[in-house]
Amino acid sequence: MTAPQGTPLGVILAGGQATRMGGGDKGLLALGDATILDHVIARLAPQAGALALNANGDEARFDRFGLPVLPDPVEDFPGPLAGVLAGLDWAAGHGAETIVTVAADTPFFPTDLVARLQDAAEGMANPLALSTTPRGSEATRSMSAGGQVRHPTFGLWPVALRHDLRAALDGGLRKVVLWTDAHDGREALFDDAGAFFNVNTPEDLTEARRRAGA
């Protein structure tokens, strides 16, 4: 398979340990008549090329989704950058130039995510961009220089920098924005501060089900 020119492959990041939900896979929790992961796939599939899932442990639990499962290439759960690297390695084997990543526990992300990230990265030799939203109820999260809230698991990443990322992870780097800032990563601003609402706690799951029902 060769990706269409300019179309990023999609990687769903599900490699976290979900400690605030008592462990397990948040993406497999029920949301309406489906799972959170079903909603994520439905939103991402029209925006990207082939999809893959970054997850660790027994791959069989994801069999029904029919997606390749990419384990972290770095041990000890180093965070989302490991999932990004897994996706970049996978995409390199398919001739893709970029990937877009989304989180497996965020079922309402924008339907124009990829287009907006690509617009933000236009003209870059190595397209690299993260999603941001206006400062609001999520102000405790990673802040950009412009005061927006950064959502580092929702990004556009260049395959050409995968070896650089591997070296950074091997050197102990774990914070996404330290790596993206070092490569002059750009930002795509989305006006809806709640667009990247994610399910971290049982209370969040209740809210997600309310939103899905509405």
- How do residues 170-202 score in pLDDT, each as one tens digit? 999 999 999 999 999 999 999 998 899 999 999
Q: With bands split at pLDDT 50, 70 and 90, how would you rate the model's confidence at 2?
A: very low
The architecture (CATH level 2) of 9-209 comes to Alpha-Beta Complex (3.90)
The pLDDT score that the predictor gives to residue 140 is 42
> For the purposes of burial, counting CB atoms within 10 Å of the CB of 100, is it exposed (0-12), middle (13-18) or buried (19 or more)?
buried
Confidence of residue 121 (pLDDT cuts 50, 70, 90): very high
Instruction: Give the number of C-alpha atoms closer than 13 A to the C-alpha of residue 152, restricted to the C-beta side.
Output: 19
pTM score, whole prediction: 0.90
Write out pLDDT tens, residues 41-87.
999 999 999 999 999 999 999 999 999 999 999 988 789 999 999 99
- Please, which residues have CB within 8 angstroms of residue 83's CB and are 6 or more apart in sequence? 11, 13, 14, 15, 54, 70, 72, 101
Task: Say whether pLDDT at 20 is over 70.
Answer: no
